[in-house]
Amino acid sequence: MSKFSKNFQKVTQVKHWTENLFSFRITRPKSFKFRSGEFVMIGLLDHDDKPILRAYSICSPSWSDELEFYSIIVKDGPLTSKLKNIKIGDEIIIMPKSTGTLVLDALKPGKRLFLLSSGTGFAPFAALIREPETYEKFESIIITHTCRMVAELSYSKSIIQECMNDELIKEFINYKLLSYHSTTREDYIFNGRITKLISSGKLFSDLKINSILSNDRFMFCGSMGLNNDLKKIMMEHNFREGANNNPGEFVLEKAFVD
């Protein structure tokens, strides 16, 4: 028996959104606690019973009975090339401790919260837009998701639609949630990288909202290059990066999956 057997949880749902993107749910350990927006180490055993573990943001809000994850399939990736084949009833390793900077506690109080994501970087925000505390702390939440192709927006669209339809969640939303989807390689309603859409002011004019204000707060999660470019924009507005023990005006995620 593997020494990781106590860390196994069963897969309860798998959905493939595109050839390279899928989401899955697992049972939640009774003792597992986390804050919406955090990530946790999950994985599988290899042929030698050695664990292949990677950091994955938890898509589920903190109150959920199951844990959901959203993954890209990296060709020859040590974990994702195997993870893509999971099915209901299979077992996934989940480590007992979650962590991360994309949590509400790491931000100073503000009026608008911008959640900026690309690719699978939408994952932590899937949790935060289903978390009642998010709507208690901010007057409006603007969530953006940018991908190369239109089909790659399917997961985020489904989560946002779920929020709008869920009897419990929509009670908190109360018209507070605005969403914005864009693509970079295929024609769509909105096109372009989020950095360009912010710098040009197009994001704000499209949503009919004010440009960046001093009481705005930002979270972003995407590629390292995108995160760095967004951080430059934040610095230009004299915003300071926050942390759990020292809240600021913006936070970004630094964990990546292969």
Taking the model in full, what pTM does it have? Answer: 0.94
- Considering the segment(s) 104-252 as one domain, its CATH architecture is 3-Layer(aba) Sandwich (3.40)
**Segment 50-64, tens digit of pLDDT:** 899 999 999 999 999
The residue ranges of DSSP E strands in the chain, in sequence order, are 8-16, 21-27, 39-45, 51-57, 66-72, 91-99, 112-118, 140-147, 177-183, 216-221, 250-252
Could you tell me the sign of the dihedral formed by the alpha carbons of 136, 33, 99, 21, in that order? negative
The domain ranges of the chain are 5-99, 104-252
**Segment 104-132, tens digit of pLDDT:** 999 999 999 999 999 999 999 999 999 99
5-99 carries CATH number 2.40.30.10: yes
